[in-house]
Structure 1
Amino acid sequence: KPGYKPECVDLCGARIEWTSEKSSRKNVFQITTVSGNEFLLQSDIDFLILDWFHAIKNAIDRLPKERSCTSRNLEFKLRRSSSIELLNSLDTESKEPKPEHRKSLIFRLNYSASDTNDRNRVKSRLKKFISRRPSLKTLQEKGLIKDQIFGSHLHLVCEHEKSTVPQFVRLCINAVEKRGLDVDGIYRVSGNLATIQKLRFVVNQ
């Protein structure tokens, strides 16, 4: 946003640790500053959250434990993302809160530009896997995939069965004429969807 300054976290003397009690989400770690502020960082991507954890931990380890550091060395900038509505409740001009007024914020970590390489590698592997798969015709010749009744063109079914009316249609008509002519709404009322899906599956098999 125009004129927006990123939030800064004082890492000098801060503690960093994994936590599962503060959030129902997975992969959450907490930064607790000397002043008592708590920040929760989270990502669903395992390698991404590990990179953040180690990067921040290394930064904390390099800093002196006392608060005599210069402010330039102390600040770790966190960019606000769309999922951090909690920051809106903070007064950016207020003084640093005291330890007894602890605020816990959660930051969702998203992909950065450097993570596109990993995604491209996954895409290329998937393309290779898909290109090696046998064709539909090959699977049909081996008998692994059979022609389906439902979803197929009528002339293809008839051509395969060498008839003018598909065998399944004949079976349905015969069943209705034998057992269903006295049933109210036999050609009008829809049947149970779950039962229909089961019958379709059996017929296709």
Structure 2
Amino acid sequence: VLQQGFLHKTKLTENGKKIRKNWTSSWVVLTDLFLFLFKESSAKMSTTTAGSSTGTNKPELCVDLNGATIEWAAVKSSRKGVFQVSTLLGVQLLLQDEDETNAVVWFNEIKRAIQRLPCGTKGSNIFIYSLMKQGSRKNKLGRTKSTKVPFLGSTEDLTAVAPGSSRERQDNLRDKLRKFFVRRPTVDSLVKKGIWKDEPVFGCHLSALCHFDGSTVPKFVQQVIQLIESKQENMKADGIYRASGNLSQIQKIRCQVDQYNWAILEIEDDVHVLTGCLKLFFRELKEPLIPCPLFEKALQATNYQGPNPERIRRYRDIVESLPTENYDTLQYLLQHLLKITEYREHNRMHISNLAIVFGPTLMWAATVSNNLALDMMQQNLVVEALLNNYHNIFNR
């Protein structure tokens, strides 16, 4: 267990269908692979389990973190400290804590849990399926009979006894799962052995990608931005960059682009999917576009209380110290975002709104801060200042 405690939760979508928001309080337990939501706390559950064996401690929801994404969702609720977890199965879940500092702690713990999962795996469901298939071999079946092996969804309870199965079989499955979770290798060990490698486009180092593309701005970034700007209806789309695109389609494009199938971008007609891909690209970089060593310096420039020209000079010094690839890519992105604001009467995306979206996406600290909520607010102010003073800061 990595983290546990009470959070408010509500579903936005399930199986691709929108659900009316209904906030409830749940006891949330974060593990390496799953996010469990219970109606009762662990103390109540342990008392109930000790008193009876009726299985009342089953989670009301189990979220598979493999392939999931997490992002802040302040625009989707008037509450404070709201963030969204989206899964490959089409579930979009809002989690919230009135204590914004605690919400940031939860956000970072879940984000780290997601990042530790190997992106190339087919998920825990397939592993469970294979275990059940192995167990079924023990029972010889006649040629005239047919059998169906149940495929467990991420929200099903593994402790439940299926019709016609024995308690021993369920215990055996549970033991195998427990051993697998304990013995599975870490991402660091897989990297050292050369098994786990960077993806060709997503999740790599910006300098390496630019070197491969033969440009100081990644080919993916250029193509996506050009496609967005190619249609005026895209630029006028309500809540562009704020609204979330279809997660499964975003992941499909990610996999295709990593196989250099660029044609997948040309046939995508949902602007929110394209913007979601662009945000995901910057979030997945091995090092943020504004590198970690410059994080504190950028916050200091934000907190500077002196004359505005001096503050702009400090921002210019930070930008000038960026590697060429980072400088050109940041400049290319900010030029695009300024074009987005030209249609603010239609898309309702002002500079401050774009800064909220891209603040945590373009920069983050190398280590966890003691005041994450304050740092996150200042990250937004850095991006807002870069957009407001673009022509005074970028003058190469």
Query: TM-score by structure 1 length?
Result: 0.33
Q: Which has the higher helix share?
A: 2
Larger relative contact order, structure 1 or 2 (CA cutoff 8 Å, min sep 6): 1
Structure with higher Rg: it is: 1
Query: TM-score by structure 2 length?
Result: 0.18
